[in-house]
Amino acid sequence: MLIALTLGLGTGAVFALVAKLVDPSRVGTVTGLVGAAGGLGGYFPPLLMGVVYQATGAYTLGFVLLAVVALIVALYTTRAFRDVT
């Protein structure tokens, strides 16, 4: 339940941020793109982890790749929204 609660709060925060940062005429489009990105984020990582496990017998490389992607996204987000308050 705690995981579901925190994931729900995180999702709500993302969509609240979209409504705050985006022009009102584009909120629907951006919300759709954010939802699609979240859907892809829930689809591809398990496939990647499965492929990595089959190829190497361990999940280490898959976790490293996911961490690198998360770091890249965090850096991009920090730079892209630096001036937005």
Residue 41 lies in a domain: yes
Q: Is there a domain that residue 60 lies in?
A: yes
The domain tally of the chain equals: 1
Q: What is the pLDDT of residue 85?
A: 55
Cα–Cα distance for residue pair 73/22, rounded to 1 Å: 19
- Tell me if 85 is assigned to some domain: no
CB atoms within 10 A of CB 15: 15
pTM: 0.64
Q: Per the domain annotation, does 21 fall within a domain?
A: yes
Q: What percent of the chain has pLDDT over 70?
A: 98
Asked if 18 and 27 count as a contact pair (C-beta separation under 8 A), the reply is yes
Task: Please check whether residue 47 lies inside any domain of the structure.
Answer: yes
Range of the domain at 45: 2-80
